[in-house]
C-alpha cells in the first residue's frame, strides 16, 4: 500500500521527521517496504511564463521561446531582459502560458530509474536551447506526449513545480501482507487515522465519511439495481449522473494517482480511483447509454458466457463468478474488473456509478481463476465494510459534479441485505487485556488509545464495552481488542520476563535424537552429510525402476523436475554423484537422512505414511566395483553392529520378497550384486550396486555402491546399552583356523557355523571368544572351493587356557565343519 | 503385469514377444497395435469405461517403455560376489575396505545448526518433535484458523498433490496435533512447550535468496497467564544463548490468522552491534521470523479452554539464520550436494 505523506497530512498532524515516522509505522502499524522521496524527481524544475514564442528560423515545427523564471535559476544564460531562450517543438506552446521548465543540469523525470537523461544547453538547428519545456509524459505524469503540460493552477514564474503540485512528497510503501485483516488501511484515510493513533493524537474522520452521508439525489435518468446475490453482495449502491463532460482530470488529481502508481485515464475514471485511494472502497463507473437498459444486475456467471474486459481481453466464463449485468448479459466481473462494452470514454455523457460490497472469498477465488489481480481485488479480498458505500458515493458525486460539470440524475438505489449492520460492542476487561500483554494499563489509558482511532468505549469499572467503528471489520473478539491496545500502546514497552514453569522435564523425541546420533557416527567415520530435495522428476523415477504412479504427484509443481515425491532416497543422492566425481573428488561417501512416501500407503488418519530412511552412497573414480560393495558393507557393519549393537544377516536380493515401499527401494539396485539386510527375520535395509539404468543415466563412476536403511525399525533395534565384559585377569589366546569349503557356501554361513560351534563350547565350558576374518582365498585352478581363515581369540574368566585345550577345541570345530559343511581344515 | 481388458491383454502379450525378437527395441513403442489401442480409446464414451481403458493402455505403454530401456541398457556382466563377506576373494590386506579418513568428513550446516537450536530449546524445557513432509489441508490451514478460500492462504504459495494433500509451507502443521496430545498436561499444572523443526516447501522460483525447500523451526508455549512479554523474553533468551551474547529483540505488528496479536520479530545485529553492516542491510536489526499469541480459535480447535489458558507461538527459517551466521551467499548451496560447499562444515 503506497501512501502519500502529504495526503496523510491533510487529515492528521505529523509532528515527527520522516525517518522517525517511518520507524514508528514499522513498529506500530506494519513493515515499511520502501520510502520514496518523490520530490527528488522534480529537483530544479520550475514553473515559467512563456513571454514570447516565434517560429524557428531553420525548422518548420520548432519554436524559439523566451521564458521568465522569475530570475530563480542562477546558472542559466539569459538575454538582456533576463529572459531565457528555449527551443520548443510542442504544438500548444503560446505566449502567456505557464509551463514546466527542465533547466540544464536537471534530469528528465520520466527517465529516472531507467536511463537517466540529464538536460544540457545545446543548439537545435543553429539556435541554443537552454533546457526544455516539458510534456506530461516527460514529467512522468501520464502518457500525453502531444503537447506541453499546461499549469492549471494559480502560480507565478519561478515557483517550484514540485511544490505547486504537491510532488514534494514522501511515498511510504507499507507491506500489503500486514493489512490482510485491515481493509481500512488500503485507503489514505485509514493510514492517516493509524498515524494519529500511534502518535497519541485524536483522529476525526471527515464528517461525510463517519456520518455515512447519503449522496444528494436528482432526476432525469431511469436506473435500477437487481441484486440476485444478497449473500455475496451484501450491499449494492448505485446512482446515475447526467451531462458529464469527459476530459483529462485536473493535474492535481492526476498527480495524486501517479504518486500511488495508478495511471490517469480521464476525469470520471480518475475520480473513482481517487476516492478508492482515499477510502479503500473500489468504485466503478459505467457509461449509462452503453448499458442501455438502465439496469445493473448481479448474478452468478454461467459456463460459456463471454465478457470483454477493460484490459481488452475477452473472458470465457465458467460457472460461479459474480457478474454485473445490464439485466441480461454480463458487463463486468464483480469486484474484479469492469467490462469494455460499457467503458466510460471521451464521448460519454451519462454515467452510472456502482459502489458495492463483494464477498472477499469469492472475489479471491475469481481473481485466481482468471488471473486478474486488480486494485479492486486487493481491497475487496480484505473484507471492506458494507457500511461505507453511500458516504463514498456522496463524496464522489460531489467531486464529479465539480470536475465534469455533470449532475446527479437519479435517486440513490441502495440494495442492502439484512446482515448489514453496525458493529456490536466487544466485551473485554482491562484485566483480560493486561494479562495477555503482561502490562498494567489503567482503564482510562486503554479507553484513550482506542478512542484516538474512533472506537467507542464504555467503561464500567474494570469492564469495557468496545464498539469498533463501522470500517473496522476485523474486531470481533476480545483478543482483537488486545492486539489493538498493544499496538497503539507500543509493543516495545512490554516487560520482557520469561514464563515460570515447573521442573518436570520436557518429553524428548527419541527418533530425532537417533538421527542426530547417526550423523555423529557417520560424519565421525569420514562420511559427508548431504541434503537433497524431497521431489524428483519422472525420468529419475524411471531410471530407478520406480513407477511414477507410486509417487504422490504435485499438480502445481514449479517445474517438471520437481513434480513427484520421492519413493526412496537413493536416486536423489545418486544424482549428486556425477558432478562431485568430475569436480575433483575421487573418493567419498555421502549420506542423507530423510523421508520417503509410497502412494496409497496411509496411516490411521488416512495420511501418507512417512518412512524414515538413511541412504549412503560410496563413489570412487577407480575400477573394481566389488570393492565398492564391501566398502559400503563395512560402513553398515560399523554403524549398525559395532556402534548400535544390531546383529545383521545378508541375503541375496534376488528371490527376496518386499512390501511395496521396500520394492520401490529395491528397484534402484542391481539384483545380482545386492543384498537385503536383516536383523533376525526383520528386513532393515538393502545394500548393493545401483541398477544399470541409474548407472548409465546418472553417469555414475566405476565404483559406486549404496545402501538404503529403514530408520524406524533400526531405531527400535538400536542398543543404548554397551555390552560390557568384566575385565579378565587371565590372558587370552589367539589361534588361527583356515577352512577349504565349497565355493557356493557364503562367508556368512561359514562364519555362523563356526560361531555356533564356539557358542556351544562357550556354553559348556565358560569360554569367551571373538572371531575375525583374516583372509579369503581362491586358487585360480580351483573355482569350486575357497579358503577362509579366521582368528579365534579365546579366554576364560577363571583360568589361563592351555594350548592343548585350545587345539582340541579347534580340532573338534574342524571335524564338525567337515561333517556338516564338507569343509577341510587346511 | 496383468491387464484386465482382453484386448489390451492380447496386444500386451503380442508386443512383448515381438520385443524379445526385434533388433530395434524402440520401434515397439511406435507399433501400429499400440496406436490402435489409443485410437480405440478415443471412440469410447467419456466417463468410467474410457478412464478404465485409458489407464490400462497407459500402464501398458509404461511397461513397454521400461522393458525397452532395460533392454537397451548395456548389460555389463559382473562376476557374482559373496554379498555376505567382509571383502572380496584374494584381496590383499592393504586393499581391503576401511573407513575413510575423518579429515574429509562433514556435517550439513543446516542440520548442525538445527541440532544446536533444538538443544538450546530442550535445555529451556521444550520438547522437540519433527514435522511432516506431506500433510492435509486441515493441519496446514483449517486447524490454524484459516477458513476455506480465505485470502490469507495465498501468502503461503503451497504445493498441492493430485489428492489435495499439501507439501507443508510451515511446521505449524504440528500445532494442532501437539496441543491435542498434551492438553491433559495443562490440567495437571504443566505447561505445553514444544519446538518443531522440519522441512517446509513454498512454490517460489529459485534464486540466491529463495528456495522452494527450506527448514523452519516453530515453537509453542501454553499455560495459564501467558502474555506477549513472555514471548519476547523467550525468543530473546534463546537467541542470546545461540549467539553467546546479549541480543535485543523487537517485535513489530504483523498478520497471521493463527495468532492474535501477531508480530514479526527482529534481533539486534550481532555482527555490528547495531552500528550497521551488510548483514543487517545497515539497519542494525535482522528480521528473523513471525510470532504472536496463539489465536483462541486454534486453542479451541485442539480442545483447550481459551478462556483459561493462553499461549504464544513463533517460527523462523533455519536456512536464513545459517546464511547470516556463516555469510553464505547463495541459499541454493544447501541442497546442491556439492562437496566443495559441504566439506567446509566439519
- Helices (H) and strands (E) counted in chain A, each on its own, are 24, 38
> In this predicted model, which residue has the larger pLDDT, A104 or B13?
A104
Is A654 in CB contact (< 8 Å) with chain B?
Answer: no
Examine the pLDDT at B148 and tell me if it is beyond 90. no
- Rounded Cα distance between A684 and A640, Å, is 10
| Residue from A703, A700, A400, A411 nearest A578 by CA | A700
Does the pTM of the predicted model rise above 0.90? no
Whole-number Å distance between alpha carbons of A466 and B5:
70
Per the model's pLDDT, the better-predicted residue between B70 and B203 turns out to be B203
- Model confidence at B24, pLDDT cuts 50, 70, 90, reads low
Q: How far apart are CA A692 and CA A663, in angstroms?
A: 17
pLDDT in tens, A371-396: 999 999 999 999 999 999 999 999 99
pLDDT of A431 strictly over 70:
yes
Asked whether the beta carbons of residue B129 and residue A512 sit closer than 8 angstroms, the reply is yes
Kindly identify which residue of chain B lies nearest to residue A597, measuring between CA atoms. B134
Considering chain A, what percentage of its residues have pLDDT values greater than 70? 99
Chain A residues lying within 8 Å of B263, measured CB to CB:
491
Angle, CA A391 vertex, CA A389 and CA A394 arms, to 5°: 110
Give the cell for residue A708.
538404503
Of B133, B203, B337, the CB nearest to A534: B133
For residue A582, pLDDT over 60 is answered with yes
Indicate if the pLDDT at residue B23 is higher than 70. Answer: no
Q: Cβ B339–A583 below 8 Å, yes or no?
A: yes
Question: Among residues A687, A537, A665, which one has the least CA distance to residue A594?
Answer: A665
Q: Which residue has the cell 460531489?
A: A398
Smallest CA-to-CA distance from B62 within A255, A510, A622, A549 is with A549
| Gap from A818 CA to chain B (nearest CA, Å) | 21
> Hey, of B138, B142, B147, B161, which one would you mutate to test binding to chain A, going by the most A CBs within 10 A of its CB?
B161
**Cα atoms in the Cβ-side hemisphere of radius 13 Å centred on A233:** 25
A744 by Cβ neighbours in 10 Å (0-12 / 13-18 / 19+) ranks as exposed
Residue in the block written with cell 448505485 = A238
Q: Count CB neighbours of A47 within 10 A.
A: 24
CA distance A765 to A767: 6
Scan residues 499-528 of A and list those with Cβ closer than 8 Å to B: 499, 501-502, 504-509, 511-512, 516, 519, 522-528
Predicted confidence (pLDDT) at residue A255 exceeds the cutoff of 90:
yes
Q: What is the pLDDT of residue A796?
A: 93
d(CA A296, CA A222): 11
Nearest CA of chain A to the CA of B49: how many Å?
20
The vertex-A577 CA angle with A575 and A582, nearest 5°, equals: 130
Interface of A with B in 252-271 (CB under 8 A): none
Q: Are the CB atoms for A684 and A711 separated by under 8 Å? A: no
Nearest residue of B to residue A605, measured between CA atoms: B136
Nearest to B100 among A505, A526, A670 (CB): A526
Q: Minimum mean pLDDT among A193-197, A326-330, B146-150: which range?
A: B146-150
Mutation target to probe the A interface, by most A beta carbons within 10 A, among B60, B215, B228 is B228
Beta bridge partners of A770: A793
Per-residue pLDDT tens digits for A663-718: 999 999 998 889 999 999 999 999 999 999 999 999 999 899 999 999 999 999 99
How large is the average pLDDT for residues A416-437? 95
Across the interface, of A181, A527, A532, the residue whose CB is closest to B337 is: A532
Q: What is the percent of chain A where pLDDT is above 90?
A: 86
Sign of the CA dihedral B290, B293, B297, B302? positive
pLDDT score for B258 = 96
DSSP 8-state class, residue A148: P
Residues in chain B: 346
Closest-CA residue of A relative to B113 is: A516
- Residue A367, pLDDT above cutoff 90: yes
Q: How far apart are CA B279 and CA A286, in angstroms?
A: 52
Looking at residue A215, what is its pLDDT?
96
What's the Cα-to-Cα distance from B234 to each of A434, B247, B265, B269, rounded to whole Å?
19, 12, 12, 18
Q: How far apart are CA A285 and CA A273, in angstroms?
A: 10
Taking the C-alpha atoms of residue B96 and residue B100, their distance in angstroms, rounded to an integer, is: 12
- Residue in B81, B225, B340 closest to A435 by CB: B225
Contact yes or no for B341/B303 (Cβ under 8 A): no
* Dihedral class, residue A645 (left if φ above 0, else alpha if ψ from -120 to 50, else beta): left
Can you tell me the mean pLDDT for A485-493? 94
| Nearest CA distance, B21 vs chain A (angstrom) | 21
**Shortest CA gap A781–chain B (Å):** 13
Q: B169 phi and psi, to 5 degrees?
A: -100, -5
Q: B89 vs chain A: nearest CA distance in angstroms? A: 5
Instruction: List the single residue in A with minimal CA-CA distance to B94.
Output: A775
Instruction: Say what the ipTM of the complex is.
Output: 0.86
For residue B250, what are the β-bridge partners? B266
Tell me the torsion sign for CA atoms B5, B6, B12, B13.
positive
- Selecting from B126, B150, B203 the residue whose C-beta is nearest the C-beta of A361 gives B150
CA separation for the pair A517, A515 (Å, rounded): 5
A794 CA: distance to closest CA in chain B (Å): 22
Interface test with B, best of A178, A492, A496 (most B CBs within 10 A): A496
CA-based Rg of chain B, rounded to a whole angstrom? Answer: 28
The per-residue b/e assignment along B17-42, b for 16 or more CB within 10 angstroms, e otherwise, is eebeeeeebeebeebeebeebeeebe
- For A492, which residue in chain B has the nearest alpha carbon? B250
- The answer to whether the CB atoms of A29 and B150 lie below 8 A apart is no
Cross-chain CB nearest to A778 (options B66, B90, B162): B90
Chain centroid, CA A571 distance in Å: 28
Helix (H) or strand (E) holding B140: helix B137-140
What is d(CA B254, CA A180) in angstroms, rounded to the nearest whole number? 9
Q: Which residues of B touch A519 (CB under 8 A)?
A: 107, 111, 115
CA distance A776 to chain B (A): 5
Read out DSSP for A176-216?
GGGGTT-GGGGSHHHHHHHHHHHTT------HHHHTTPPPP
**Residue in A421, A415, A74 with CA at minimum distance from that of residue A223:** A415
A528 contact residues in B (CB cutoff 8 A): 104-106, 339, 342-343
> How large is the average pLDDT for residues B8-21?
81
Q: What pLDDT does A750 receive?
A: 95
Task: Note whether A452 and A275 are within 8 A (CB).
Answer: no
CB-based contact, A27 to chain B, within 8 Å: yes
Q: Do A29 and B253 touch (CB under 8 A)?
A: yes
- The C-alpha angle with vertex A762 and arms to A759 and A765, in degrees rounded to 5, equals 150
Q: What is the mean pLDDT of chain A?
A: 94
Chain B CB contacts of A30 under 8 Å are 252-254
Q: For residue A106, is pLDDT > 70?
A: yes
Interface test mutation site (partner A, options B58, B72, B78, B82, max chain A beta carbons within 10 A): B82
Grid coordinates belonging to A256: 495524486
Q: Are A1 and A185 in contact (CB under 8 A)?
A: yes
Region of residue A235 (left: phi > 0; alpha: psi -120 to 50; beta: else): beta
- Does residue A623 register a pLDDT over 80? no
A753 vs B: CB within 8 A: no
8 A C-beta contact, residue A433 and residue A485: yes
Of B65, B99, B295, the CB nearest to A638: B99
Give DSSP secondary structure letters for A575-621.
Answer: TTHHHHHHTT--EEEEEEEEEE--TT-B-TTSPBP-EEEEEEEEEES
> What does the pLDDT look like over B113-125, one tens digit per residue?
999 999 999 999 9
Q: What is the 3-state secondary structure (H, E, C) of A330-382?
A: EEEECCCEEECCCCCCCCCCCEEEEEEECCHHHHHHHHHHHCCCCHHHHHHCC
Predicted confidence band of residue B78 (pLDDT cuts 50, 70, 90): low
As given in the structure block, the three cell numbers for residue A503 are 521442573
pLDDT digits (tens, 9 = 90+) for B79-124: 678 999 999 999 998 889 999 999 999 999 999 999 999 999 999 9
With CA atoms as reference, report the closest residue to B286 among B263, B327, B320, B331: B320
pLDDT band at B17 (very low <50, low <70, confident <90, very high): confident
- Tell me the C-alpha distance between B199 and A703, whole Å: 32
Instruction: Check B74 against A497: CB less than 8 A apart.
Output: no
Cβ contact B133–A595 (<8 Å):
yes
* pLDDT value, residue B72: 58
Position A672 scores a pLDDT of 87
Residue of A nearest to B119 (CA): A513
Mutate: best of B29, B84, B289, partner A, most A CBs <10 A: B84
Inter-chain CB pairs, A–B, below 8 Å: 342
> Cα distance from B39 to chain A (closest Cα, Å)?
23
Strand partners, A616: A591, A707
**Cis peptide leading into B287, omega within 30 of 0?**
no
In chain A, what residues touch B79 (CB-CB under 8 Å)? 626
- Average pLDDT (B129-158) is 90
Buried-state track A348-364, b at ≥16 Cβ within 10 A, e below 16: bebbbbbbbbbbbbbbb
Return the percent helix, strand and coil in chain A, to nearest 5.
30, 25, 45
b/e string for A422-438 if b means 16 or more Cβ within 10 A? ebebbebebebbbbbbb
Q: Give the model confidence (pLDDT) of A326-339 as tens digits.
A: 999 999 999 999 99
Which of chain B's residues have a Cβ under 8 Å away from the Cβ of A608? 134, 165
Cβ-nearest to B293 among A436, A693, A749: A436
User: A74: which strand partners?
Assistant: none
User: Which member of B82, B125, B201 has the closest CB to residue A501?
Assistant: B125
The candidate with the shortest Cα–Cα distance to B320, out of B156, B180, B114, is B114
Amino acid at each position: 500500500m503506497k501512501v502519500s505523506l502529504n495526503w496523510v497530512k491533510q487529515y492528521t498532524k505529523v509532528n515527527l521527521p520522516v525517518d522517525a515516522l517511518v520507524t514508528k509505522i514499522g513498529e506500530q502499524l506494519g513493515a515499511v517496504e520502501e520510502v520514496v522521496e518523490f520530490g527528488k524527481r522534480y529537483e530544479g524544475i520550475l514553473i515559467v511564463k512563456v513571454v514570447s514564442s516565434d517560429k524557428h528560423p531553420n525548422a518548420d515545427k520548432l519554436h524559439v521561446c523566451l521564458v521568465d523564471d522569475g530570475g530563480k535559476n542562477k546558472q542559466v544564460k539569459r538575454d538582456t531582459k533576463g529572459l531565457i531562450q528555449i527551443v520548443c517543438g510542442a504544438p500548444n506552446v503560446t505566449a502567456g502560458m505557464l509551463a514546466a521548465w527542465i533547466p540544464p543540469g536537471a534530469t528528465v523525470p520520466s527517465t529516472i530509474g531507467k536511463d537517466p537523461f540529464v538536460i544540457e544547453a545545446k543548439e537545435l538547428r543553429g539556435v541554443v536551447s537552454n533546457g526544455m519545456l516539458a510534456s506530461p509524459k516527460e514529467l512522468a505524469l501520464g502518457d500525453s506526449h502531444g503537447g506541453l503540460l499546461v499549469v492549471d493552477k494559480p502560480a507565478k514564474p519561478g515557483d517550484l513545480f514540485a511544490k505547486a503540485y504537491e510532488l514534494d512528497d514522501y511515498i511510504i510503501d507499507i507491506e500489503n501482507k500486514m493489512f490482510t485483516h485491515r481493509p481500512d488501511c488500503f485507503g489514505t484515510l485509514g493510514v492517516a487515522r493509524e498515524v494519529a493513533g500511534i502518535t497519541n493524537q485524536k483522529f476525526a474522520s471527515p464528517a461525510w465519511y463517519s456520518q455515512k452521508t447519503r449522496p444528494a439525489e436528482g432526476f432525469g435518468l431511469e436506473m435500477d439495481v437487481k441484486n440476485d446475490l444478497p449473500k455475496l453482495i451484501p450491499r449494492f449502491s448505485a446512482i446515475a449522473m447526467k451531462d458529464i463532460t469527459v476530459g483529462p482530470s485536473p493535474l492535481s488529481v492526476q498527480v495524486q494517482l501517479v504518486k500511488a502508481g495508478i495511471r490517469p485515464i480521464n476525469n470520471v475514471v480518475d475520480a473513482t480511483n481517487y476516492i478508492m485511494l482515499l477510502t479503500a472502497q473500489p468504485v466503478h463507473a459505467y457509461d449509462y447509454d452503453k448499458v442501455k437498459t438502465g439496469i445493473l444486475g448481479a448474478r452468478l456467471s454461467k459456463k460459456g458466457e463471454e465478457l470483454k474486459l477493460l484490459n481488452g481481453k475477452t473472458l470465457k466464463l465458467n460457472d460461479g463468478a459474480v457478474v454485473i449485468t445490464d439485466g441480461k448479459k454480463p458487463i463486468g466481473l464483480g469486484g474484479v474488473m469492469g467490462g469494455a462494452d460499457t467503458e466510460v470514454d471521451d464521448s460519454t455523457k451519462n454515467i452510472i456509478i456502482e459502489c458495492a460490497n463483494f464477498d472477499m472469498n469469492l472475489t479471491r477465488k475469481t481473481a485466481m481463476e482468471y488471473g486478474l489481480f486488480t486494485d479492486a481485488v486487493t481491497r475487496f479480498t480484505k473484507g471492506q465494510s458494507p457500511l461505507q458505500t453511500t458516504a463514498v458515493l456522496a463524496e464522489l458525486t460531489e467531486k464529479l459534479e465539480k470536475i465534469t460539470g455533470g449532475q446527479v440524475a437519479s435517486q440513490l438505489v441502495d440494495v442492502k441485505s439484512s446482515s448489514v449492520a453496525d458493529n456490536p460492542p466487544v466485551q473485554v476487561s482491562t484485566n483480560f487485556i493486561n494479562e495477555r500483554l503482561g502490562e498494567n494499563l489503567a482503564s482510562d489509558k486503554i479507553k484513550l488509545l482506542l478512542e484516538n482511532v474512533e472506537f467507542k468505549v464504555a467503561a464500567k469499572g474494570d469492564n469495557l464495552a468496545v464498539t469498533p467503528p463501522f470500517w473496522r471489520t476485523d474486531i470481533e473478539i476480545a483478543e482483537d481488542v488486545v492486539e489493538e491496545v498493544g499496538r497503539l500502546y507500543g509493543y516495545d514497552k512490554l516487560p520482557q520476563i520469561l514464563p515460570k514453569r515447573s521442573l518436570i522435564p520436557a518429553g524428548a523425541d527419541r527418533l530425532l535424537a537417533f538421527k542426530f546420533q547417526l550423523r555423529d557416527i557417520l560424519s565421525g567415520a569420514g562420511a559427508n552429510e548431504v541434503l537433497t530435495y524431497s521431489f524428483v522428476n519422472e525420468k529419475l523415477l524411471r531410471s530407478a525402476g520406480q513407477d511414477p504412479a507410486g509417487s504422490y504427484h504435485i499438480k502445481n509443481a514449479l517445474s517438471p523436475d520437481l513434480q513427484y515425491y520421492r519413493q526412496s532416497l537413493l536416486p536423489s543422492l545418486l544424482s549428486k554423484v556425477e558432478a562431485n566425481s568430475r569436480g575433483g573428488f575421487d573418493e567419498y561417501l555421502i549420506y542423507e537422512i530423510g523421508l520417503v512416501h509410497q502412494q496409497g500407503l496411509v496411516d490411521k488418519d488416512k495420511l501418507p505414511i512417512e518412512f524414515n530412511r538413511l541412504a549412503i552412497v560410496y563413489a570412487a573414480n577407480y575400477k573394481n566395483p566389488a570393492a565398492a560393495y564391501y566398502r559400503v558393507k563395512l560402513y553398515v557393519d560399523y554403524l549398525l553392529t559395532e556402534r548400535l549393537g544390531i546383529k545383521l544377516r545378508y541375503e541375496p536380493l534376488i528371490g527376496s520378497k518386499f512390501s511395496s515401499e521396500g520394492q520401490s527401494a529395491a528397484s534402484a539396485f542391481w539384483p545380482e550384486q545386492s543384498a537385503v539386510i536383516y536383523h533376525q527375520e526383520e528386513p532393515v535395509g538393502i545394500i548393493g550396486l545401483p541398477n544399470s539404468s541409474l548407472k548409465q543415466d546418472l553417469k555414475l563412476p566405476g565404483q559406486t555402491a549404496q545402501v538404503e536403511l529403514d530408520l524406524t525399525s533400526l531405531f527400535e533395534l538400536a542398543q543404548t546399552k554397551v555390552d560390557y565384559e568384566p575385565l579378565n585377569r587371565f590372558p587370552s589366546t589367539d589361534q588361527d583356523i583356515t577352512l577349504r569349503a565349497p565355493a557356493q557356501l557364503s562367508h556368512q554361513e561359514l562364519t555362523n557355523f563356526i560361531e555356533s560351534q564356539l557358542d556351544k563350547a562357550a556354553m559348556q565350558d565358560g569360554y569367551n571368544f571373538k572371531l575375525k576374518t583374516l583372509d579369503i582365498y581362491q586358487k585360480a585352478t580351483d573355482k569350486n572351493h575357497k579358503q577362509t581363515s579366521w582368528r579365534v581369540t579365546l579366554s576364560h574368566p577363571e583360568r589361563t587356557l592351555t594350548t592343548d585345550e585350545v587345539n582340541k577345541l579347534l580340532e573338534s570345530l574342524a571335524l564338525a565343519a567337515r561333517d556338516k559343511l564338507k569343509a577341510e581344515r587346511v | 503385469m496383468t491387464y484386465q481388458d482382453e484386448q489390451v491383454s492380447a496386444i500386451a502379450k503380442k508386443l512383448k514377444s515381438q520385443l524379445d525378437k526385434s533388433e530395434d527395441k524402440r520401434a515397439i513403442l511406435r507399433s501400429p497395435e499400440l496406436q490402435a489401442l489409443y485410437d480405440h480409446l478415443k471412440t469410447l464414451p467419456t466417463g468410467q469405461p474410457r478412464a478404465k481403458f485409458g489407464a490400462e493402455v497407459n500402464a501398458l505403454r509404461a511397461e513397454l517403455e521400461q522393458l525397452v530401456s532395460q533392454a537397451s541398457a548395456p548389460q555389463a556382466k559382473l562376476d557374482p560376489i559373496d554379498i555376505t563377506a567382509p571383502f572380496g576373494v584374494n584381496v590383499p590386506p592393504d586393499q581391503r575396505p576401511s573407513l575413510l579418513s575423518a579429515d574429509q568428513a562433514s556435517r550439513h550446516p543446516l542440520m548442525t545448526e538445527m541440532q544446536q537450536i533444538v538443544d538450546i530449546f530442550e535445555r529451556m524445557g521444550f520438547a522437540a518433535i519433527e514435522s511432516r513432509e506431506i500433510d492435509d489441508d486441515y493441519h496446514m490451514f483449517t486447524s490454524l484458523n484459516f477458513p476455506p478460500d480465505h485470502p490469507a492462504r495465498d501468502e503461503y504459495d503451497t504445493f498441492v498433490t493430485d489428492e489435495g494433500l499439501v507439501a507443508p509451507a510451515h511446521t505449524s502443521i504440528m500445532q494442532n496435533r501437539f496441543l491435542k496430545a498434551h492438553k491433559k498436561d495443562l490440567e495437571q499444572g504443566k505447561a505445553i512447550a514444544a519446538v518443531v523443526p522440519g522441512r517446509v516447501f513454498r512454490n517460489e522460483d529459485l534464486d540466491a535468496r529463495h528456495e522452494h525447500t527450506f527448514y523452519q523451526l516453530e515453537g509453542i508455549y501454553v499455560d495459564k497467564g501467558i502474555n506477549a512479554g513472555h514471548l519476547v523474553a523467550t525468543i530473546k533468551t534463546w537467541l542470546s544463548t545461540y549467539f553467546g551474547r546479549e541480543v535485543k529483540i523487537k517485535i513489530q505488528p504483523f498478520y497471521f490468522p493463527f495468532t492474535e496479536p501477531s508480530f514479526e520479530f527482529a534481533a539486534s545485529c550481532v555482527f555490528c552491534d547495531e552500528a550497521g553492516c551488510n548483514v543487517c542491510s545497515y539497519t542494525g536489526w535482522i528480521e528473523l521470523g513471525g510470532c504472536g499469541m496463539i489465536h483462541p480459535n486454534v486453542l479451541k480447535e485442539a480442545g483447550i479452554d481459551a478462556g483459561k489458558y493462553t499461549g504464544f507461538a513463533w517460527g523462523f527459517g533455519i536456512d536464513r539464520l545459517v546464511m547470516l551466521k556463516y555469510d553464505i551467499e547463495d541459499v541454493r548451496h544447501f541442497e546442491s550436494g556439492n562437496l566443495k560447499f559441504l566439506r567446509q562444515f566439519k
